[in-house]
Chain A
């Protein structure tokens, strides 16, 4: 099982684009020439068109949009990766336990998941952040709490069929501990599924984070995230288009490449 077996053209395009984005974002401190958050820039630098000096132009405070897209990407990706990672861990254990033990425990655990899933995510997030304040940590917690259930369902379904397989019977027949059967024999077999799901889910989280920042309850100024940048620039449309266009393109490229990679990985599961 090697990723080199993936024949999909989209997958490789997605992977290349994503690698490029990650490379730019991780080395942003070496690339950028201007502080992305400083607001009292000289007046002649404000709302400038893209040029050699400011390749993505500047916003109303004279901040370099290119620098802010790179820095905002850090925030957006960091939030997305954290949320997806925590959701994968919580959801995998929850789902594996539910599916493996089955019976009434499974019933209780899954009804609880159904209950949580019946809340609209955005609404729940808005309520929580209004109650407990915004901030990146809160954003990660709220988004994780609202997105681990899908992983749990997925893993449960997978475990329900995996546990019928003879190698689990062999493991039980050899007297292995239940914790080992779940941790060592089931989990690695659901890894690819969870990973693939998480990649695609990451795109959703980036969009949700952007949406929350766009309506002003996600990332707070002056810190940049792609969503908050679009929010900042929306009143300057259609004339100063570059303020919203470049973060928009960044979101589009990232989420599209994540989706391409995710769908490529799906073909790997024979």
Chain B
């Protein structure tokens, strides 16, 4: 099956006075039709920049310097700004982390949804409003007709995130990029938003790139998981495999850092092992394997070069000298 989105050797860099931040450094990813791919990793490892690269919205001085991003078999890196604006919002939806700051404080929530519909479809205001009201019901907003004229600050965090979801889905895109969609919300609201996303994903038949650092979100939502470290994908596998049989030492330690993991069904409680060392300075990454300084199984050979990834028959991808595929 052909992939909906195929990213190859993507490199996105920030050229600054003091050096180069290689925020995305040779990333390969595929997302198939209807699939949810979760991108996980610690803060600052380049998850958001990967997502924004797909929309060609990397903030300056950031620039995509190499690679290709094929969306529906077109390399979007070759598209003009004008062609891109027809893809943004229409073919690819974007959901951001903090729903309050992601909504314009001086525009009503109804208009913030309907303006997107009017941008991409030749409809008049009334038709756009009707579609917006339908959409607001689909994302389970209450009292839609009065909510239409409310301002973002009058809504609770959960309702605001539903508005953002409505905006992302307003033109029935085939791919939605959700950048930590639940991080800013209360735990009880988080699960509501996640189940809403899950249902809408089925209903609208979309693929989802779910950026998160929360493994409970991964377990709930993802079909496949890509683990990112310092701008590179270090491991990629089915969700089940990641939890039951992590191979890369970074993945293992991420999973060990989760409080009370109980995935096998047997009642056993693992102790929390916090990840040692700090998130690397993206401006001065170590030579060789970037995870080397924090790795428990590394030896001197790991310092010499970056391990090329290898792919197993089951579609697992790992990039580590020491780990062996099961």
Contact = CB atoms under 8 A, between A and B. Distances in A.
Contacts of B104: 167, 170-171, 185, 189
Given A167-B101, A170-B96, A176 B89 contact: yes
Given A175-B85, A185-B104, A189-B106, A169 B119 contact: no
Given A169-B96, A170-B164, A184 B115 contact: yes
A179 to B, nearest CB: 11
Which of B88, B90, B106, B116 lies at the interface centre, i.e. has the most chain A CB atoms within 10 A of its CB?
B106
B55 to A, nearest CB: 6
Interface string B16-54: 000000000000000000000000000000000000100
Interface residues of B, number: 31
A5 to B, nearest CB: 14
A265 to B, nearest CB: 16
B119 A180 contact: yes
Contact of B57 (A165, A172, A180): A172
Nearest to A172: B57
Interface of chain B, helix or strand or loop or mixed? loop
Interface residues on A, range: 10 to 19
A166 interface: yes
Interface in B59-74: 59-60
Interface in B87-114: 87-90, 93-94, 96-98, 101-107
A166 B116 contact: no
Given A172-B57, A176-B115, A189-B105, A166 B89 contact: no
A137 interface: no
A241 to B, nearest CB: 50
Interface in A156-170: 164-167, 169-170
A180 B115 contact: yes
A174 interface: yes
Contacts of A170: 94, 96, 102-104, 164, 167
Contacts of B168: 174
A175 B119 CA distance: 8
A165 B119 contact: no
A102 B86 CA distance: 23
A102 B60 CA distance: 10
Interface in B113-130: 115-116, 119-120
Interface of B: 52, 55, 57, 59-60, 85-90, 93-94, 96-98, 101-107, 115-116, 119-120, 164, 167-168, 170
5 closest pairs, A vs B, by CB? A175-B89, A173-B94, A175-B88, A174-B89, A166-B102
